[in-house]
């Protein structure tokens, strides 16, 4: 019997077909096994072969149809479901987009209506305010006068400066209590109310009216003052003249002589009252500065003079041999001294008057001269004066001079305009000539008329400055009158130009 093998779709294929078996020939043509079996049975029972072949073909066709329907139905279902789901998602997106667009449009409409409403309300308020201003202007209108046009008073807006600040009683009481506690703990005068503070600073004369005018009225009490310059320029003379000016106001004075070169007779000739004057000779810089602090703290002196800073010698330098050098000792002492004494001068209303010398600046940069004692004095001094004798400052004949002409320049001033100057005469054995400075200031102010060699004030007309000075000596009332007039004139304060190169002056020397 021939061998059969299975194939796709339940069909049978003949491994080795033979021409002698009809059933096997049907199987070889691709019919199912059932058809081949029917063919074989029919052959054996002698049924016509054509009928059997048709029956077998119908059975095979029915079987194939059932298999195809069974396999294709799930696939079509899945495709339909996917299409329906996609359609639902798209419709949902369209609906959401339309709703969102509708919300945005409604929001814009609401905002536009609100903005329109705000603008309308603002215009109404502005119109009402403008109407009120017009009505107020009409109410203050002056009544018409005969033959005069109407006057309308324009309303002025009130400012902060128009109204005085008013503090409550509770605030004033708290401030008063705070001031009392602070002054009790830290000392009287630590806290001062500005409405009770004295704004004007008391001053005293330098002995030269031209210098007083350059300073804005004189030197202040309660401050640190420094005057510096070369030798024989009038530093000590100016210091003694300041002492005389303070004594005229009833103040007691102290003079710390570190140069050990004070001429007492000369001081008396300058107008110094020995009864209101105490002289001190400390041995070292530490002793001198400690002494000055003690004198100011006592409150007994209105002016304390140290003549000079350059002559202050630290104790360490005194103890060492000449070959041993010390650097910066005096600068450190002066820095500490200035920090301690500045506030004491304010509290006791005492002036510290320092004279200083100039030294050559060997550094090669900046000014050619500098003051001694470091930089501290420059910062703590409220007033700094530079004094020099001009090159042509000799008074009288060269063979028999009777004085010198000095020039003071205000290089620093915290109470008035700085960089102003004034010149004056120093007469040998007499000191600063007050009459000479009064005459020069009067001419600068235009109070005394000068035409050539002639000088005239009111009915007084003389020829030559010496005769006018003599007239002032003989008429103290006229001198006092001219002094008063000059102090009321700002034109007497001469603005200093940068003329240091011509006179050999240093406008702002750097300290060592």
Does any domain span residue 339? yes
Q: What is the mean pLDDT of residues 27-39?
A: 50
Does any domain span residue 312? yes
CA–CA dist 375, 330 (Å, integer): 11
Residues in the chain: 512
The enclosing H or E element of 432 equals strand 431-432
- 303 and 421 assigned to the same domain: yes
190 has a pLDDT exceeding 50? yes
27 has a pLDDT exceeding 50? no
248 has a pLDDT exceeding 70? yes
- For residue 137, what pLDDT is reported? 56
The dihedral over CA atoms of 219, 305, 380, 505, expressed in degrees to the nearest 10, equals 70
End-to-end CA distance of the chain: 139
Look up residue 414 and give its DSSP letter. Answer: S
205 has a pLDDT exceeding 80? yes
The dihedral over CA atoms of 48, 53, 54, 55, expressed in degrees to the nearest 10, equals 90
More confident residue, 91 or 342: 342
Give the sign of the dihedral formed by CA 125, CA 128, CA 134, CA 140.
negative
- CA angle, 345 as apex, 340 and 350 as ends, to 5°? 145
- CA angle, 346 as apex, 345 and 350 as ends, to 5°? 45
- CA angle, 434 as apex, 430 and 438 as ends, to 5°? 155
CA–CA dist 358, 371 (Å, integer): 5
- For residue 356, what pLDDT is reported? 97
The model's confidence at residue 125, banded by pLDDT at 50, 70 and 90, is confident
- For residue 10, what pLDDT is reported? 44
Query: Beta-carbon neighbour count of residue 448 at 10 Å?
Result: 21
495 has a pLDDT exceeding 50? no
Strand, helix or coil at 230?
coil
Which residues lie across from 371 on neighbouring strands?
358
Which residues lie across from 431 on neighbouring strands?
427
Look up residue 136 and give its two tokens: 């107020």
* Whole-number percent of the chain with pLDDT over 90: 49
The model's confidence at residue 499, banded by pLDDT at 50, 70 and 90, is very low
CA–CA dist 308, 356 (Å, integer): 5
The model's confidence at residue 51, banded by pLDDT at 50, 70 and 90, is low
CA–CA dist 409, 494 (Å, integer): 10
More confident residue, 293 or 324: 293
CA–CA dist 294, 495 (Å, integer): 39
Q: Phi, psi (5° rounding) for residue 391?
A: -60, -35
Look up residue 495 and give its two tokens: 């603005």
> In sequence order, what are the residues at sequence separation of 6 or more whose Cβ sits closer than 8 angstroms to the Cβ of residue 118?
none
The model's confidence at residue 153, banded by pLDDT at 50, 70 and 90, is very low
More confident residue, 438 or 157: 438
Say if residues 201 and 221 touch (Cβ distance below 8 Å). yes
21 has a pLDDT exceeding 70? no
More confident residue, 160 or 487: 487
Does any domain span residue 489? no
143 has a pLDDT exceeding 60? no
181, 201, 221 — which closes off a domain? Answer: 201
* Token pair 């000479």 in the structure block, residue: 436
- 292 and 412 assigned to the same domain: yes
- 290 and 374 assigned to the same domain: yes
Q: How far is CA 10 from CA 36, 48, 61, 292, in A?
A: 12, 26, 13, 135
180, 201, 222 — which closes off a domain? Answer: 201
- 222 and 294 assigned to the same domain: yes
- 111 and 236 assigned to the same domain: no
pLDDT tens, 79-103? 888 888 888 888 888 888 888 888 8
More confident residue, 359 or 188: 359
146 has a pLDDT exceeding 60? no
- 102 and 179 assigned to the same domain: no
- Which of the residue ranges 98-107, 141-150, 371-380, 392-401 would you say has the lowest mean pLDDT? 141-150
- 61 and 104 assigned to the same domain: yes
Q: Where are the alpha helices (DSSP H) in 349-388?
A: 376-380
Q: How far is CA 449 from CA 40, 297, 437, 488, in A?
A: 168, 49, 16, 17
Look up residue 35 and give its two tokens: 């058809």
Based on the structure, what is the number of domains in the chain?
Answer: 3
Does any domain span residue 139? no
- For residue 411, what pLDDT is reported? 97
* Whole-number percent of the chain with pLDDT over 70: 73
* Token pair 């000449």 in the structure block, residue: 322
CA–CA dist 255, 366 (Å, integer): 34
The model's confidence at residue 50, banded by pLDDT at 50, 70 and 90, is low
- Which of the residue ranges 39-53, 71-85, 369-383 would you say has the lowest mean pLDDT? 39-53
The enclosing H or E element of 62 equals helix 49-139
107, 122, 137 — which closes off a domain? Answer: 122
376 has a pLDDT exceeding 80? yes
Q: Check whether the bond before 139 is cis (ω within 30° of 0).
A: no
Q: How far is CA 196 from CA 31, 193, 200, in A?
A: 133, 6, 12
- 191 and 215 assigned to the same domain: no
The enclosing H or E element of 358 equals strand 358-360
pLDDT tens, 438-486? 999 999 999 999 998 999 999 999 999 999 999 999 999 999 999 999 9
Look up residue 504 and give its two tokens: 């050999």
- 277 and 377 assigned to the same domain: yes
311 has a pLDDT exceeding 70? yes
108 has a pLDDT exceeding 80? yes
Does any domain span residue 486? no
- 184 and 241 assigned to the same domain: no
Does any domain span residue 459? no
- 113 and 8 assigned to the same domain: yes
17 has a pLDDT exceeding 60? no
Looking at residue 387, which CATH number applies to its domain?
3.40.50.300
Domain holding 338, by residue range, is 203-432+499-503
- 296 and 178 assigned to the same domain: no
151 has a pLDDT exceeding 60? no
Does any domain span residue 138? no
Considering the chain, what is the average pLDDT of its residues?
81
* Token pair 């050539």 in the structure block, residue: 452
Does any domain span residue 409? yes
* Token pair 């202050």 in the structure block, residue: 312
- For residue 509, what pLDDT is reported? 40
HSE at residue 477, side-chain half, CA atoms within 13 A, is: 0
Q: What is the mean pLDDT of residues 75-82?
A: 79
* Token pair 């001009």 in the structure block, residue: 390
- For residue 164, what pLDDT is reported? 59
């Amino acid at each position: 019997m021939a061998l059969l093998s299975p194939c796709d779709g339940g069909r049978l294929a003949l491994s080795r077909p033979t021409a002698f078996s009809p059933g096997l020939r049907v199987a070889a043509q691709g019919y199912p096994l059932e058809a081949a079996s029917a063919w074989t049975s029919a052959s054996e029972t002698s049924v016509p072969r054509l009928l059997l072949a048709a029956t077998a073909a119908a059975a095979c066709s029915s079987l194939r149809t059932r298999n195809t329907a069974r396999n294709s139905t799930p696939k079509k279902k899945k495709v339909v479901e996917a299409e329906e789901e996609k359609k639902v998602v798209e419709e949902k997106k369209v609906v959401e987009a339309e709703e969102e667009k509708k919300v945005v449009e409604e929001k814009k409409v609401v905002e536009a209506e609100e903005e329109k409403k705000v603008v309308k309300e603002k215009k109404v308020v502005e119109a009402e305010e403008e109407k009120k201003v017009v009505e107020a202007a009409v109410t203050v209108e002056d009544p018409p006068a005969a033959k005069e046009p109407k006057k309308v008073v324009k309303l002025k807006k009130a400012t902060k400066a128009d109204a005085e600040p008013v503090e409550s009683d509770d605030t004033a009481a708290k401030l008063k209590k705070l001031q009392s506690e602070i002054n009790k703990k830290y000392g009287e005068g630590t806290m001062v109310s500005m409405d009770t503070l004295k704004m004007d600073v008391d001053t005293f004369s330098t002995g030269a009216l031209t210098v007083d005018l350059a300073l804005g009225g004189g030197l202040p009490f309660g401050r640190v003052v420094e005057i510096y310059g070369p030798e024989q320029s009038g530093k000590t003379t100016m210091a003694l003249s300041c002492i005389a000016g303070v004594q005229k106001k009833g103040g007691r004075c102290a003079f710390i002589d570190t140069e050990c070169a004070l001429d007492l007779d000369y001081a008396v000739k300058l107008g110094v009252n020995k009864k209101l004057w105490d002289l001190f000779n400390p041995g070292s810089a530490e002793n001198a500065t400690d002494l000055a602090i003690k004198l100011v703290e006592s409150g007994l002196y209105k002016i304390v003079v140290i003549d000079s800073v350059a002559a202050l010698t630290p104790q360490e330098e005194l103890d060492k041999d000449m070959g041993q050098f010390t650097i910066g000792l005096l600068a450190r002492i002066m820095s500490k001294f200035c920090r301690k004494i500045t506030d004491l001068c304010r509290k006791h209303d005492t002036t510290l008057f320092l004279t200083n010398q100039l030294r050559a600046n060997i550094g090669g940069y900046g000014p050619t001269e500098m003051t001694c004692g470091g930089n501290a004095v420059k910062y703590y001094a409220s007033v700094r004066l530079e004094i020099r004798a001009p090159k042509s400052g000799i008074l009288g004949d060269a063979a028999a001079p009777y004085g010198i002409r000095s020039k003071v320049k205000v290089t620093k001033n915290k109470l008035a305009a700085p960089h102003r100057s004034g010149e004056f005469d120093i007469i040998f054995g007499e000191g600063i000539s007050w009459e000479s400075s009064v005459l020069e200031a009067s001419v600068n102010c235009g109070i005394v008329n000068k035409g050539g060699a002639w000088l005239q004030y009111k009915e007084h007309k003389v020829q030559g400055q010496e005769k006018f000075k003599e007239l002032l000596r003989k008429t103290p009332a006229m001198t006092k009158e001219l002094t008063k007039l000059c102090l009321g004139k700002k034109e007497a304060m001469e603005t200093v130009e940068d003329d240091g190169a011509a006179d050999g002056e240093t406008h702002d020397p750097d300290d060592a």
